[in-house]
Structure 1
C-alpha cells in the first residue's frame, strides 16, 4: 500500500520563479528512498513541501498524498495530525531545530504526551526511555539540559527521539549527519538504520553524500536544478550511473573518499 504518492510536484517563488519542477515519486511502508544532489538542487524544498512547511513566499502545485491526506492546499490545522503521526522530519542542524529556551526533556515529552496521553511520573519515565532508545547516555541528565549544554551529536539524537515519539510511519531525514564529525556521522547512520528497521518505517533520506545514501537506503532519486535526473536502485546509481550528472557525483564522491583515506592513513 502506498504511503506517500507525489505527482507533478512543483515549487515556485512568489514572482513565479521555479525551484522544483514536475517531480514524481512514491513510497510504500518500509521503503527507503534517497534524494541526492548538490546544494540548491531542490532536495530540502521537496521535503518541506511534503509536510506543508514551505515558507509563505513559496507555492507548491501538483499532488502530495501522505497516508491518504492531500497536503497541497490543506489548511495548517488539518495537517497537525499528519505531522508526527504519519511523517516526521529530522533537520540538518538540530541547534536551530530545537527550542533553545526549553529543556531537552520537555521537547521530547510534548509529542509523547500527545500520542500517549501520559502525564506526570509516567510521562517522565517514557521521556527517559525515548532518550535511551536513541542511545543517549544518562538520559535523565540529558533531559534536564538545554540544547546548548549538550554536544552536536547528542542534539541530533534528541531531535531524532522527538521525531520518533509519535511513532510516525515515515521518517524524513534532511542531511541529518552533515553537521557532525565523521565518527559521530557513522554512529548516527547506524542508529537511524537500526531504529527504522526495528519499527518497519519508511525513510526518505536527503543527502549530497553517496556514501551515506548507500548505508541507509535502497533506492535513489538524483536531483539537479529542481528536476529529477535519474532514479533507480542505489547499487545501480553508484555502480553504473546512466546520466552524466550522476557520473560526476559518483566520481566526486570517490575522489573525496580517497582523500579521506589518505588523510587517515598512518
Structure 2
C-alpha cells in the first residue's frame, strides 16, 4: 500500500494551542497516521503520513476550523511509513528561531513562486535587472545533500543560529535580490521577515520551499536531493525517496532527530 506524506504549516494566531492539541490528538487516534504536529501561539506545523483516505479525512476536518481554511499541504508518496510514532505537541514556536520580534502571523514576507524564481535564475537577474541570489536557511548537513546552484550557505548548524549569521553577513547581500529558501517554506518565511527588519530591501521567500519548487519546476538550477527529517532521508526532484537507510543510521547528529526540527519539514 502506498503511503501519502504531507507537509504543511500556517502562521496564524492560536490563543489556546493546548485545547487544539487535545482535539487533534483525539481526531488522529485510531487512524493509521504517524508523524508530528507542532502547535504554538504563532500557528501550526505538521508532517504526517498514512493511508490517503485517513490523511484527506484529517485535512478536511482540520480545515473546518476557519483559521486553517487556507492550509496548503505538499504531498509525496512512499512505499512504507516513514515515521515511527505520532506526536502532537505544544511549543513556544512552530519553528524555533529565538527571535520574538519576528511575528509571521502579523503579515507574511513577500513570496516568489517557483516559476518566477526559475525564470530569474535562467536570466541571472530579477525583473528590475538586479542580480538574484538564493539563500539556504537550512542546516549545513541538509545543504550538503542538495541545494540550488551557487546558493549562499552560511553553514548554520541549527535555525536559531540564523539571526547571528545574518548580522555577520548582512553587507554581502546589499544591492541584490535575495530569495530565501528551505524545505517547505516555514524557515525561509521567518528568515525573510528578519532580513527585512534588518534593512535588506529586496528580500523574497520561496513560496512552498524546495518541495513546491520540485513539484512545479523540477530539477532546474537545483543540485542533488532535498533532505527530509524522516526515514526517507531525501527526495529527488520527482519527490521520490532515493535513500532508505536503517533507522539507526539516520542523521549523524543527535540534535537533528528531535521532532521539533522536522521540516522545516521545515520545510514544511
TM range, normalised to the smaller chain? under 0.3
Ranked by relative contact order (alpha carbons within 8 Å, sequence separation 6 or more), the top structure is 1
Higher helix share: 1
Larger Rg: 1
